[in-house]
Amino acid sequence: MAHERDLLARVALKDESSFHLLYEEFAKRVFRYALTLLRDQHLAEEVVQETMTTVWSKAGTYSGSARVSTWIFGIARHKAYDILRSERKGARATEVTAIMDDPAPAIERQERVVAAINGLPPDQREIVFLTFYENLPYKTIAHLLEIPEGTVKSRMYHAKKKLAEALT
Amino acid sequence: MIDCEQVRELIPWYLNGTLAGVEAAAVAAHIASCTKCREELALTLQLSFQVRTAIEDMPPVPKRVWDRVRTGKGEIPLGSLNLGSFLLGLSMGLSVTRRGRPRVTSNLRLLGRQVPIYNTREEGGE
């Protein structure tokens, strides 16, 4: 954690090598988060690009009140939801490529899990991701998503129920 | 004491190890004596493992993303020079970026009026 704060402090001073290290640390995590939310590789790449560009330009505004990861995921979330909103308006519908087209999850069982995750609404998908993959506390998730803690728990409850129906 | 419903809500965070000490102890004590909640724990453990494995199997971030971060909108400035004249109300800025394409911005005001003189913009820039 202190390591991430040190890196970000140096990024605020426009230190390029620290920025590269921070990118190495977070690009994959932000990409997976965006992929979970958006289900589209090209859009997820866009989220990583815009998030890390914002990290570079806004590092000096990091207040230190939250973890660096929470701050970066907060930026990524805004970028991803901006894209989701434009998707819903149909403005970029032609660009959408389903994640299921990607050859990575090769085995059938894995495809079933991916399909089950993708079958969840975005607000449930992200809580599943943040809990099971990022291992965030529910209080941090509530803070990040700007929703009550009870809503985090209820979304997880419904997500788990749907996943269990699909996978067991 | 917490009931089954509360325990089941907390199980995902009990499993990811982020519950506060008091909450974690209460969940552990309840699970030790409740078969239904133990089953729920086992189910959640299985789901979390499946989800985690699926996410870890996602494709890696292509290298082109880093290239775009460095050279795209988030160009990394190497230096900048700003010149101005209080009397004329003129200011000009020159930024040198890694692309090697200087961006010149200007702002000329005469008697309070904006006078356009010269600007270069990045292709596809905002």
Structure confidence at residue A64 (pLDDT): 87
Mutate to test the interface with A, among B55, B64, B78, B122 (most CBs of A within 10 A): B55
The answer, for A41 touching chain B at a CB cutoff of 8 Å, is yes
Q: Which of A55-69, A147-161, B109-123 has the lowest mean pLDDT?
A: B109-123
Structure confidence at residue A166 (pLDDT): 92
Closest residue on chain A to B68 (Cα): A49
Structure confidence at residue A111 (pLDDT): 84
Report long-range pairs for B62-65 (Cβ below 8 Å, ≥24 apart): B62/A45, B64/A45, B65/A27, B65/A31, B65/A45, B65/A48, B65/A49
Chain A CB contacts of B52 under 8 Å are: 132-133
Greater pLDDT, A120 or A103: A120
Contact (CB<8Å) A129/B55 = yes
Q: Which of A14-18, A101-105, A149-153, B60-64 has the lowest mean pLDDT?
A: A101-105
Residues 6 or more apart from A88 whose CB is under 8 A from it? none
Residues 6 or more apart from A8 whose CB is under 8 A from it? A22, A55, A59, A62, A68
pLDDT > 90: percent of chain A: 76
The answer, for B60 touching chain A at a CB cutoff of 8 Å, is yes
pLDDT beyond 80 at A103? no
Q: Which residues of chain B have pLDDT under 70?
A: 72-126
Closest residue on chain B to A41 (Cα): B59
| Closest by Cα among A89, A153, A156 to A124 | A156
- Cα(A100)–Cα(A84) distance, integer angstroms: 18
- Cα(B94)–Cα(A71) distance, integer angstroms: 32
Taking only the tens place, the pLDDT of each residue in B53-64 is 999 999 999 999
Mutate to test the interface with A, among B5, B8, B13 (most CBs of A within 10 A): B13
- Cα(A135)–Cα(B78) distance, integer angstroms: 38
Structure confidence at residue B49 (pLDDT): 95
| Closest by Cα among B99, B96, B101, B94 to B70 | B99
Give ipTM to 2 decimals.
Answer: 0.82
The answer, for B12 touching chain A at a CB cutoff of 8 Å, is yes
Q: Of A36, A164, A168, which has the smallest distance from its Cβ to B55's Cβ?
A: A36
Instruction: Determine if the pTM surpasses 0.90.
Output: no
Structure confidence at residue A117 (pLDDT): 94
Please count the other Cβ atoms lying within 10 Å of the Cβ belonging to residue B104: 13
Average pLDDT for A20-45? 94
Average pLDDT for A94-99? 42
Structure confidence at residue B87 (pLDDT): 47
Greater pLDDT, A112 or A94: A112
